[in-house]
Chain A
Amino acid sequence: MRVHSNSAVSVCGVALAVGALLLPGLPSGPGMALARDRTLHVAAAADLMPVLPHLAKAFTKRSGTPVRISWGATGEEALAIRHHAPYDLFLAADAATPERLGREGFLQKSSLKTYAKGILVLWVSKKALSATKALPDTALLLQPGIRKFGLANPRLAPYGHAALSCLRKKGLWTKLRKKAVYGNSLAQVAWYLRTGTAPAGFLSESQAMGLAKGSAKGDFVALSPACAPYLAQEMGIVRRSKNVGAARSFEDYLMSAEAQEYLKEHGYH
């Protein structure tokens, strides 16, 4: 299994998108190579970074099928799939994007399933928290001590969209929009928090739990379902996949009690 490192996420997304834009004119050379390749190619939303590698490894151990994961924002990967990127399975961070791809004929409609319900959280660094002597909360972002906060680009990433609608719902967005900095995906927001360039940011609970395990010091509060609904995350098999059997068994594995239990323990509802 090959997993792209964090640092390559956005670049991979771009490269894939560009590659996908350039490649469809070519004859089926790459496709033929893939037909013999047993590796399952998964395009996954960046909120899954802390959990999917483990699940993929467990699946490979059980089935013998290697899994290769490409990370990106849901919107980036949807574009790549529209341009026939060689993926077998798409794990999105929302339901709307796979549903649309299903309607447009890029994903098999019958394969669409909700595999996880994501939780939006606000993460605040320990430094900012001790300066204000408060618990993490959206109102905390108004403090002058928090100069910037990160969220994923609301146009590309469902978690960014959820963060935006939560701030709008609380009437905070007009006051806070000047402080917002955008990452192309959740992974980039996690970067800003890890390097300390932004003292606060909106993440998935899965990413926030991963961050807490690393060097970043901070605390987070769940905003789903009170401020933003749970993010129903759907997956679907790419219609042009040459590896439908493996994609289907990975889908089945993700829906199994074992995998669902693991997801619940690692930041999904």
Chain B
Amino acid sequence: MIHSALMLTVALSLLTATILALLALPLAGWIVFSGGRASAVGEALLTLTLVLPPAVLGYLLLVAFSPESPPGALLARILGHPLPFSFAGLLLASLIYSLPFAVGPVAQAFRQVPPPTLEMARILGGGPLTVFWKVVVPLSLPGIATGWILGFAHTVGEFGVVMMVGGNIPGETRTLSLKAYDDLLASNGRGGWEAILPLLLFSFGALLALNLVRRSGVPHAPDLTRG
């Protein structure tokens, strides 16, 4: 069972982090470069799940995904099964609650691209998309890596939302953090070490990776302008 809880958590976290890393590029680009008032509202919406209590978020997702609600019924028809209590439901929930962790660092990195660099690129004839792909994204790789790592780590550690939306089904939606909780509380158990050790390893690994990314340094913009 630990095997499946471990594999389940790894699969869920890898998928979530990777999908979010891809989504983060256009979302962070919109937040940072569109400059409109709408993007401030957008950023607040994207960051909402950072502040909302996870169990409340889980409850809202349950209400939204319930096969008795119109969007839930539509999704159930597309997928062939209702979204709650399934891996797909867990993945969608993870994408939502880990979103700010993945988008935040990318937006931060985009903001740190020096305006003169962007101006130079524009003067040299780059359209907005070219500037974005050829200048902004390459300069922001450490931020993108940080977003991926945080998205992964946060998904590994999430508890409240997966508990509500997943239904704690062994082999299907019981993640490591749920298993650790169960093992800790069951009075006759051997304690939660089977689940806690991998959780500790993941957390430590993620933090180590973050530090390595930070030390690897950001390629400096002046190099480009000088060239």
Contact = CB atoms under 8 A, between A and B. Distances in A.
Interface of A: 7-8, 10-11, 14, 17, 73, 75-76, 78-79, 97, 100, 147-148, 150, 153, 155-156, 180-184, 188, 191-192, 195-198
Nearest to A180: B169
Interface in B23-78: 53-56, 59, 62-63, 65-69
Interface stretch (B8-16, B182-190, B211-219): B182-190
A17 B66 contact: no
A79 B184 contact: yes
A198 B65 CA distance: 12
B84 A75 contact: no
Chain B contact patch, size range: 20 to 34
B186 A196 contact: no
A17 B184 CA distance: 10
Nearest to A125: B68
Given A10-B55, A147-B81, A75 B185 contact: yes
Contact of A181 (B63, B69, B85): B85
A97 B187 contact: yes
A79 B160 CA distance: 19
Contacts, number: 79
A142 B59 CA distance: 27
A7 B56 CA distance: 7
Contact of A14 (B59, B68, B84, B159): B159
Which of B55, B69, B185, B189 has the most CB atoms of chain A within a 10 A radius of its CB? B185
A256 to B, nearest CB: 31
Contacts of B163: 10, 184, 188
Interface in B157-202: 159-160, 163-164, 167-169, 181-182, 184-187, 189
Nearest to A6: B59
B187 A153 contact: no
26 contacts: A7-B55, A7-B59, A8-B55, A10-B163, A11-B160, A14-B181, A17-B185, A73-B185, A75-B187, A78-B187, A79-B185, A147-B81, A147-B82, A148-B167, A150-B167, A153-B182, A155-B186, A155-B189, A156-B182, A156-B186, A181-B85, A181-B169, A192-B167, A196-B66, A197-B62, A197-B67
